[in-house]
Amino acid sequence: MEKIVICTVCPIGCNITVREENDELVITGNQCKRGLTYATNEYLHPVRILTTTVKVHGGDQVLVPVRSAEPLPKELLFSAMDLIRDLTVDAPIHRGDVLINNILDTGIDIVATGEIKC
C-alpha cells in the first residue's frame, strides 16, 4: 500500500510518499526529519484537530465555535461530530470552557473558542 502525505509541519508542504516494503515503511519526498515523523504518524495513526460549532440556548449568538483540545484519531471524527451536533449548551460561555469532557473516552475535551453572553 502507498499513500501520499502532504506535510503540514512547515509552509514548504512537501509531498511525501509512504509505502510498505517487507513490513517496513519506506518514506521519500521529505526534505527534513520532521517530515519523516509527520508522515510516519499520518500513515500509522492519523489525527486531526476537530473544529466546529455547538448550539447555544439563551445567548446573544446561537452558535459557539469549539475545537478539540488536542488532535483526535481521524477515525473518530464522525462519531465526535454526531455527539457535538446533538449538544445544546446554556449561555454564558467563556473561551476555554469545557463543553464535552473526555469525548468518546479519548481523554480529550471539546472546548469553547469563543465568548457568548446572555
CA separation for the pair 5, 25 (Å, rounded): 13
| Least distance in angstroms from the C-beta of 59 to ligand SF4 | 40
* Closest by CA position to 69, among listed 95, 37, 42, 87: 95
Between residues 49 and 63, which has the closer beta carbon with respect to ligand SF4? Answer: 49
Cell of 58: 439563551
* Residues in contact with ligand SF4 by the rule CB under 6 A: 7, 9-10, 12-14, 30-32, 34-35
In the complex, least distance from residue 12 CB atom to ligand SF4, rounded to whole angstroms: 4
Q: For ligand SF4, give the closer residue by CB, 31 or 113.
A: 31
Rounded CA separation 38/32 (Å): 10
